């Protein structure tokens, strides 16, 4: 049986330090799978340059010139990791039977890509790469990550715990994913909504080979908050609850003040007044901020702006060129 055409999609942002090793290791994995007839010889690695400011795209071009397994896609600007990943998935889906997405830092165990393909051949449309342990993380990151997954589960968002963006998806699953048109992308939350047969493959995450993490603390919190507000209105309901709570506390305080007045035990002072003002003011600012976040998302959605812009497509153009050459040769033959 002919193996499926597999494309490995790798979003890259300022990855010149790690790119040579990433390309080398992924090429070896792909070659082994081809040699073992698990995948088609037409399978490729697609590096997506997300508007890098270093020499990442230059290195991708050089690698394409000498390595037939490597192709590239260059975005005109930095569109963000999720958009860059989506750009690669959309480009790959048109010419592949299945697609594996993986970050460029080689922290995910590329050896389990073989298992991904085996699971796909067993009939699974989505294969999630799940971290078996988080021992390489700091205590703070490990604790906050665990708290994030628990919180998302509590508010009704179905995430795969300890899974990032290392996964395999069939063409059928990708076609369904592309029907979700929202601008505020949170792929970890969208993909479980598809509902096709899925499974998990566990692996141990490694240290980054080179370079620095593209997800510092600030970005991690922003990403988590974006995921929460993209899939749930629970934060707004929580603000409503706080509003009711503030009203009840104010009513009780007012009742207490009236009782004190009637019994002649009133005492003048500004501390309680200032505290109450700060408390209510803080609630109002919190409510305004959270509601504003949702309004901002609505604002971005209704504009329907492109999620990314492709500057150089060295993946699709390659296949189009072969088709044009084939047509030209047929004409010459006639």
Share of the chain above pLDDT 70, in %: 69
Q: Which has the higher per-residue pLDDT, 27 or 141?
A: 27
Radius of gyration in angstroms for the set of CA atoms belonging to the chain, rounded to a whole number: 26
Q: Which has the higher per-residue pLDDT, 121 or 325?
A: 121
Least confident interval from 46-50, 93-97, 168-172, 218-222: 218-222
Q: Which residue has the tokens 């329907």?
A: 304
**pLDDT tens-digit map of 3-34:** 899 999 999 999 999 999 999 999 999 999 99
Instruction: Give the span between the Cα atoms of 288 and 278, in whole angstroms.
Output: 15
Instruction: Give the span between the Cα atoms of 73 and 313, in whole angstroms.
Output: 5
How far from the centroid of its chain's Cα atoms is residue 144's Cα? Answer: 17
What mean pLDDT is predicted for residues 143-148?
Answer: 68
Least confident interval from 12-21, 61-70, 127-136, 204-213: 204-213
Q: With 60 as the cut, is the pLDDT of residue 209 above it? A: no
Q: With 70 as the cut, is the pLDDT of residue 220 above it? A: no
Q: With 80 as the cut, is the pLDDT of residue 143 above it? A: no
- Check residue 217 and give its pLDDT: 54
Q: Which has the higher per-residue pLDDT, 275 or 301?
A: 301
Bridge partners (DSSP) of residue 10 are 47
User: Going by C-beta distance under 8 Å and a sequence separation of 6 or more, which residues neighbour residue 261?
Assistant: none
Q: Where are the domains of the chain?
A: 6-216+306-333, 234-303
| Helix, strand or coil, per DSSP, at residue 150 | helix
Least confident interval from 120-129, 187-196, 235-244: 235-244
- Check residue 306 and give its pLDDT: 80
**pLDDT tens-digit map of 249-299:** 766 766 766 676 667 665 565 456 766 776 777 677 677 777 777 777 777
Domain 6-216+306-333 class, CATH top level: alpha beta
The terminus-to-terminus CA distance of the chain in angstroms comes to 34
- Rounded to the nearest 10 degrees, what angle do helices 271-303 and 217-231 cross at? 80
Least confident interval from 34-43, 220-229, 242-251, 287-296: 220-229
Instruction: Give the span between the Cα atoms of 73 and 86, in whole angstroms.
Output: 12
CB 236 within 8 A of CB 293: no
CB 112 within 8 A of CB 187: no
CB 29 within 8 A of CB 110: yes
Q: How does residue 138 score in pLDDT terms, banded at 50, 70 and 90?
A: low
> 281 is written with which tokens?
């003011």
Q: Which has the higher per-residue pLDDT, 120 or 138?
A: 120
**pLDDT tens-digit map of 102-128:** 999 888 999 999 999 999 999 999 999
Quote the DSSP letter at residue 39: S
Q: What is the mean pLDDT of the chain?
A: 79
- Check residue 323 and give its pLDDT: 40
CB 107 within 8 A of CB 205: yes
């Amino acid at each position: 049986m002919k193996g499926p055409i597999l494309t490995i999609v790798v979003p890259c942002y300022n990855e010149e330090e790690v790119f040579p090793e990433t390309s080398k290791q992924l090429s070896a994995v792909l070659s082994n799978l081809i040699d073992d007839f698990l995948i088609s010889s037409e399978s490729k690695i697609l590096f997506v340059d997300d508007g890098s400011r270093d020499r990442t795209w230059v290195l991708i071009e050089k690698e394409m010139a000498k390595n037939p397994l490597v192709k590239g896609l260059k975005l005109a600007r930095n569109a963000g990791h999720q958009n860059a990943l989506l750009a690669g998935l959309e480009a790959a889906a048109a010419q592949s039977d299945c697609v594996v997405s993986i970050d460029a830092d080689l922290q995910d165990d590329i050896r389990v890509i073989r298992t991904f393909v085996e699971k796909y051949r067993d009939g699974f449309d989505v294969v999630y790469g799940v971290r078996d342990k988080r021992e390489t993380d700091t205590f703070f990151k490990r604790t906050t990550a665990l708290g994030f997954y628990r919180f998302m589960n509590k508010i009704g968002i179905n995430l795969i715990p300890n899974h990032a963006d290392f996964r395999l998806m069939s063409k059928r699953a990708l076609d369904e994913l592309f029907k979700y048109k929202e601008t505020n992308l949170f792929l970890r939350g969208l993909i479980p909504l598809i509902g096709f047969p899925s499974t998990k493959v566990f692996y141990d995450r490694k240290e980054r080979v080179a370079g620095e993490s593209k997800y510092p603390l600030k970005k991690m919190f922003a990403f988590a908050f974006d995921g929460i507000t993209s899939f749930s209105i629970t934060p707004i309901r929580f603000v409503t609850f706080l509003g009711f709570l503030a009203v009840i506390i104010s009513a009780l305080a007012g009742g207490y003040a009236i009782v004190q007045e009637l019994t002649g035990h009133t005492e003048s002072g500004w501390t309680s007044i200032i505290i109450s003002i700060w408390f209510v003011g803080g609630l109002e600012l919190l409510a305004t901020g959270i509601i504003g976040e949702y309004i901002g998302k609505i604002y971005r959605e209704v504009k329907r702006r492109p999620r990314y812009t492709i500057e150089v497509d060295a993946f699709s153009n390659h296949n189009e060129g072969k088709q044009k050459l084939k047509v030209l040769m047929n004409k010459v033959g006639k």
